[in-house]
Structure 1
Amino acid sequence: MGDLVTLGQRIRHFRQEAGLTLDQVGEQVGTAASQLSLIENGRREPRVTLLGEIAKALGVTVPDLLDETPPSPRAALEIELDRLQRSALYARLGLPPVRPGRTLGDDVLEALVGLHRELVDRERRSIATPEEARRANTELRHRMREKNNYLPDLEELAENLVRSSGHVSGAITHREVGLMAKRLGFELVYANDLPRSARSITDLENGRIYLPPASIPGGHGLRSMALQAMAHRMLGHEVPETYADFLHQRLEINYFAAACLMPLTQSVAFLQQAKSDRNIAVEDFRDAFGVTHEAAALRFTNLATSHLDLQLHFLRVGDDGAVYKAYENDGLRLPVDVTGSTEGQPVCRKWSARVAFTRTNRTTEFYQYTDTPEGTFWESTQTGTGTGSEFSITVGVPFAQAKWFRGRETTQRQVSTCPDPACCTLPDNELTGRWGGKVWTSARLHAHILSPLPSGTFPGVDDQEVYRFLEQHASDD
C-alpha cells in the first residue's frame, strides 16, 4: 500500500480538516478509535475495504488518501523524523524516539530533524577515512578476482550503446560519444572553469555533461570521462551511502567506459587473432582502439580469462616502487599489509615493474622473466610520466602462457625471493658495515598518509564549488 506513515498523516490531515475526532470516525466505520490511532501513526496497515470507509467518512476519495505527498510542511517534517528515528544509526544511540504530538512546536520539530540530518551527514563523512577506504578497496579487489575481473551485464549494456551510435570498427570518435550522450538525453559541454575537485559534472535538470576543454593527448580522457558520466545514469546510481558504495560505482563507470571504447566483440576478435598468431601485445591493443596503455592493459584483464583462457596479473607502480593499482588471478603473490591491502606497498626491486625504470630506452615495452617462490612469470612493462612523477604499467602471465605473447624470447631474467627481506629490502652486510650508525636522513613525508579523504556528498568533491559552477552556467543561458 506504499508508505504507511504518509498514509496515516493524510488520514489525520483530512480528519482534522473535517473537524472530526477519532471516536466520531470510528463510529462511522465501525472501528475502535485506538485502531484508527495506530493507522494514523503509521503503525498499522488498513484493509482496502476499511480505507474506503474512512475516505467516505472524511468526504474524500481513496486516491486522495493514497497520494504519497505529505499533506503539509509540518506533516513532511513529522514523516522525515519518523523515518530517521527508525534508522539503524539512531538505534545504535540507544535513545527513545520522540513522538511529535500537537504540543511539540514547529520550531522544536525543525530542530530535531536538523540534528538528525547532521548526524547522518557526519556518519557519511566519517566513513571516508584512509582505513575504511583501504578496507573497502581490498574487499572490492577480492570480489573482482572471484569474477575474473569480468562483468557481462556491463559488457552487454556498453555494446548496445556503442551500436546505437552507428560505430562499426576502430577507435570510438568524439562524434560517436556525442551521439551516445544525445541518445541518453545529454549534451556534452566543455567548460574552462570546471571545479578542480570534479572530473566532470552532470546537470540532471538541464541535461548537460560538463567536461574540461582538454585532457590526455589523443582525446581518450575526454571520451572516457563523458562515458563515465553517462554510466552513472544508465546504471541508476544513487548518492553513495558508504565508501564501499563509492568505490563500487567508480569501478562500474570505469569498466563501462572501457567497454565502450574497446567494445567486447571487436576486442575479443582482435585478441583472439593475436593469440592465434602468438603475438599478443598490449601496445597493439592500445593502438587499435586509440586509448592509453593503462586503459588497454586494464581492459585486457577484463577479457583475458573469460575469452582467452589466460590467467594474468596487472600492476601500476610509481617510480618510488609503491603499488597504485593491482589485480591478479594467476597466483602471483602481491605485496600486502596486515589488512590485506596492496595499495601503497612496495613491490620487489627485481620485478619487471621496477627494473623497467632503470632502462635508458623507455619508448618500447620491456620484457622479463621473473622467478618467484610462487613460480616463474613472464612480464611486459611500459613506463610513462604522470603529474610530476613516473609510473610503470605491467601485464604478466605464468611461464606456460608466455608462448602467446610478443617478447617471450627475451633473455632478461631476475630471481625474486620476496617477501623475504633479504631479497631486496635489507642492505647487504658490506654496506651495513660501512654505513650503519653513520647516517641520519630527513625523510620526505607523504602528506596523504596523515590526511583523511575530503568530505562531501561524494568523497573529495567540493559541493559548494559544484553548485556555484552550475548556478553560473545556468544563468549564462
Structure 2
Amino acid sequence: MPGAEAPDLITLGRRIRHARTSRGLTLDALSERVGSAPSLLSLVENGRREPRLSLLRAIAEALDVPLADLLAAEPPSRRAELEIALERAQRGPLFAALGLPAIKPSQKLPVPVLEQLVGLHAEIARREEEAIATPEEARRANTELRLERQARDNHLPQIEAIAEDMTRRAGYTGGALMHRTVARMAEALGLTILHVDDLPRSARSVTDWRNGRIYLPPASIPGGHGLRSLALQAIAHRVLGHERPRSYAEFLRQRVEITYFAAACLIPQSFAVDFLSQRKREKDLAVEDFRDAFGVTHEAAAMRLTNLATVHLGIPLHFLRVGDDGALFRGYANDGLPLPMDVTGAIEGQLVCKWWAGREAFARRDRATESYQYTDTPAGTFWDSVQTGAAADGRQFSVTVGVPYAHAKWFRGRDTQVRRKSTCPDPACCQRPPVDLAARWEGVSWPSARMHQQILAALPRGVFPGVDDTEVYSFLERHAPDHPTT
C-alpha cells in the first residue's frame, strides 16, 4: 500500500465495491478479470483484508478506474459514507459490549435507516466520551490516584525535568516566577496569554489551540499567583501531550499532572531543593519561609513540600487541608499518619479528629502565623505546623504539614509545648458525646441537619466535567480573530 495518504481498509473496500457495482459487475465477473478468488475480493470489499498493490492495480485496470481514485481517502458516495460509519461502529468495543447482532449494510438497507443507525451509534459514542461519573466512581478514582502518589512519594521526575527546562529557557534565575516569564513560556509554544472579563462561569481558563490563545480572568483580580498557576496549567496540557479525557479517572489524572507541572514551574526543583537543604542543615525548615521565598500561597508551598521532602531530604510527611467543619478536603501521607477514610478508602469529606492540629487551630485567637502542636496517636507521635486561611466563599480552612516525632528536629516550632492525645478511630476519642450530656439530651432533641446538596448529585457531565460546552464554544467564537466584532 503506498504512503501515508492511503485510505483505511473499509473506505478502500467501499470504493472498490462502488466502482464494481456501478459497472454492473458481480464478484465472480471481477474475479475472472483479475485472477483472484471471489472470497478474497469479498474480504477486500468488506475491509477485512489488505490487498497487495499488484491486486489493486489489476482491479483498477479491470474496472477502468485510476488507481488514485481507489486510494482516495473520502467515501465515493453518501451511502458509502454511511455504510463505512456503520461498519466501523459495529467493529468497536462499545457495540461489542451491547451484545447485539450486527446489521450488514447491504444495498437492501434504505438510506434513511442507515442514517438513523449511524446517528444512534454516534450518540452512544458521544455519551460514553462525556466521562460521566457518579460520586462513588470519582471517589474510587481519586483514592487510586492518592495511593499511587503515596507509593512514589508524590514525586514525578519526568514532569520535574520538563518544568525545570522550560523555566530556565524562559529566563528564570530564582525567586518568584514572574508573569512575564510565564508569558515567555507560553510564547515558546506559540501561545499568547489574554486576560478577559467574560470567561464562561464554568471554566477557570479557556485555551484556543486553533488561534494560539490562552484566555484568563483579568490580571487585576486578587492573588496574582493564581493567574500564573492557571496559565501554567493550560500550558501543561500541550507540554504533557494530553488528549481529550475518555473517563473521569483520566480527567482526574490530567488535573493532577497539570497541577504538579504548575507547582514545579512556580517552585523549580533545583532552586527549591537548595533552599530546603540549607534550611534543614540549619534545623530551621518552615513552610512560611518556603512560601515567601517563591511568592506562592501557603497551601501551594505546603503541597510542594510533599513533592520534594521525602525524595530529596529523606523526610516522610503528611499534608491536610481541613474545613472549619472538620471535614478533610485534601490529604496526603507517606509517614504513617492514619488518615480517616470510608470503606472504599476515600478520605475526602471524612471528619478528622477534633484533637488534631488541623482542627485545634480554629480555636486560636492569633491566626496570623503558623501554630505548632504534637499529637499522640495509636500510630505514634506526630508534630504539625498549621496555618489557617479563608476561601473565596469566606469559609475558613486550615493547611497542615506534619512529620513523625523523629523528624520534628528539622523544623522551626519543634519546641512547642502544645500536646494533644488522639485515639481515633476509636469513637470514644471525640465522636461520642460525654456520658452525662448524652443521658440528659438523647431522645429529647431533634436537630435539623445542614444538608450538603452535592452528596446527592452525580458529577457534572461533559468531556471536561462541570464545563458548559455551549458557553465555552460561544466564548471562543466571540473572541476568535476572524469574528466580525473582534
TM-score, normalised on structure 2?
A: 0.93
Deviation string 1:137-160 (CA, Å, 9 cap, x unpaired) is: 111111111111111111111112
Alignment partner for residue 375 of structure 1, among 375, 380, 397? 380
- 1:444 equivalent to 2:450? Answer yes
What is the 5 A alignment of 1:332-351? 332-351=337-356
Deviation string 1:333-370 (CA, Å, 9 cap, x unpaired) is: 11001111000000001111101111000011111111
Distance, in Å, in 1 between the alignment partners of 2:117 and 2:190 is: 40
What is the 5 A alignment of 1:203-242? 203-214=208-219, 217-242=222-247
Distance, in Å, in 2 between the alignment partners of 1:373 and 1:340 is: 19
Q: Structure 1 residues 195 and 34 mapped into 2: Cα distance closer, same or farther (>3 Å)?
A: same
Residue 325 (structure 2) aligns with: 320
Residue 27 (structure 1) aligns with: 32
1:216: Cα distance to partner? 6.5
**Residue 188 of structure 1 contacts residue 208 of structure 1 at CA under 8 Å; is this kept in 2?**
yes
Structure 1 SS opposite 2:194: strand
**Residue 316 of structure 1 contacts residue 392 of structure 1 at CA under 8 Å; is this kept in 2?**
yes
Distance, in Å, in 2 between the alignment partners of 1:241 and 1:6 is: 26
- Cα RMSD, aligned residues only: 2.0
Q: Which amino acid aligns with 2:262?
A: A
Residue 110 (structure 2) aligns with: 105
Structure 1, 29-38 or 363-372: larger mean CA deviation:
29-38
Q: Structure 1 residues 6 and 429 mapped into 2: Cα distance closer, same or farther (>3 Å)?
A: same
Residue 252 (structure 2) aligns with: 247
What is the 5 A alignment of 1:269-288? 269-288=274-293
1:274: Cα distance to partner? 1.3
Distance, in Å, in 2 between the alignment partners of 1:10 and 1:436 is: 79
Alignment partner for residue 396 of structure 1, among 402, 405, 412? 402
**Residue 176 of structure 2 contacts residue 293 of structure 2 at CA under 8 Å; is this kept in 1?**
yes
1:247: Cα distance to partner? 0.4
Distance, in Å, in 1 between the alignment partners of 2:220 and 2:262 is: 16
What is the 5 A alignment of 1:284-323? 284-323=289-328
1:55: Cα distance to partner? 4.2
Distance, in Å, in 2 between the alignment partners of 1:279 and 1:63 is: 73
1:272: Cα distance to partner? 1.2
Distance, in Å, in 1 between the alignment partners of 2:414 and 2:54 is: 77
Residue 84 (structure 2) aligns with: 79
Deviation string 1:118-150 (CA, Å, 9 cap, x unpaired) is: 223334457321111111111111111111111
Q: Which amino acid aligns with 1:222?
A: L
1:58: Cα distance to partner? 4.5
Distance, in Å, in 1 between the alignment partners of 2:234 and 2:81 is: 33
Residue 194 (structure 1) aligns with: 199
Q: Structure 1 residues 143 and 36 mapped into 2: Cα distance closer, same or farther (>3 Å)?
A: same
Structure 1, 254-263 or 415-424: larger mean CA deviation:
254-263
Distance, in Å, in 1 between the alignment partners of 2:196 and 2:366 is: 38
Distance, in Å, in 2 between the alignment partners of 1:13 and 1:234 is: 44
Structure 1, 161-170 or 207-216: larger mean CA deviation:
207-216
**Residue 215 of structure 1 contacts residue 222 of structure 1 at CA under 8 Å; is this kept in 2?**
no
TM-score, normalised on structure 1?
A: 0.95
What stretches of structure 1 move > 6 A for 4+ residues in a row? none
- 1:263 equivalent to 2:268? Answer yes
1:402: Cα distance to partner? 0.9
Residue 359 (structure 1) aligns with: 364
Alignment partner for residue 147 of structure 1, among 148, 152, 156? 152
1:78: Cα distance to partner? 2.6
Alignment partner for residue 336 of structure 2, among 331, 336, 340? 331
**Residue 130 of structure 2 contacts residue 464 of structure 2 at CA under 8 Å; is this kept in 1?**
no
**Residue 309 of structure 2 contacts residue 316 of structure 2 at CA under 8 Å; is this kept in 1?**
yes
Distance, in Å, in 1 between the alignment partners of 2:64 and 2:177 is: 61
User: How many residue pairs get matched?
Assistant: 477
Distance, in Å, in 2 between the alignment partners of 1:149 and 1:74 is: 53
**Residue 218 of structure 1 contacts residue 290 of structure 1 at CA under 8 Å; is this kept in 2?**
no
Structure 1, 14-23 or 195-204: larger mean CA deviation:
14-23
Q: Which amino acid aligns with 1:413?
A: R
- 1:12 equivalent to 2:23? Answer no
Distance, in Å, in 1 between the alignment partners of 2:387 and 2:66 is: 70
Per chain length, whose mean CA-contact separation is higher, i.e. which structure has more relative contact order (CA < 8 Å, sep 6+)?
2
Distance, in Å, in 2 between the alignment partners of 1:375 and 1:48 is: 73
Deviation string 1:206-236 (CA, Å, 9 cap, x unpaired) is: 1111111147734111111111111111222
1:164: Cα distance to partner? 2.1
Residue 459 (structure 1) aligns with: 465
Q: Which amino acid aligns with 1:441?
A: P
**Residue 132 of structure 2 contacts residue 459 of structure 2 at CA under 8 Å; is this kept in 1?**
no
Structure 1, 101-110 or 371-380: larger mean CA deviation:
101-110
Residue 4 (structure 2) aligns with: none
1:70: Cα distance to partner? 3.8
Structure 2 SS opposite 1:380: strand
Q: Structure 1 residues 208 and 98 mapped into 2: Cα distance closer, same or farther (>3 Å)?
A: same
Distance, in Å, in 2 between the alignment partners of 1:141 and 1:217 is: 30
**Residue 131 of structure 2 contacts residue 245 of structure 2 at CA under 8 Å; is this kept in 1?**
no
Distance, in Å, in 2 between the alignment partners of 1:357 and 1:459 is: 33
Distance, in Å, in 1 between the alignment partners of 2:350 and 2:145 is: 17
Structure 1, 6-15 or 410-419: larger mean CA deviation:
6-15
Q: Structure 1 residues 279 and 51 mapped into 2: Cα distance closer, same or farther (>3 Å)?
A: farther
1:48: Cα distance to partner? 4.2
Q: Which runs of 5+ in 1 are unaligned?
A: none
1:13: Cα distance to partner? 4.0
Residue 427 (structure 2) aligns with: 421
Distance, in Å, in 1 between the alignment partners of 2:35 and 2:49 is: 16
- 1:40 equivalent to 2:45? Answer yes
Distance, in Å, in 2 between the alignment partners of 1:65 and 1:160 is: 48
**Residue 324 of structure 2 contacts residue 395 of structure 2 at CA under 8 Å; is this kept in 1?**
yes
Deviation string 1:256-283 (CA, Å, 9 cap, x unpaired) is: 1111111111111111111111111111
Distance, in Å, in 1 between the alignment partners of 2:88 and 2:185 is: 39
Q: Which amino acid aligns with 1:453?
A: L
Alignment partner for residue 171 of structure 1, among 165, 168, 176? 176
Distance, in Å, in 2 between the alignment partners of 1:215 and 1:374 is: 47
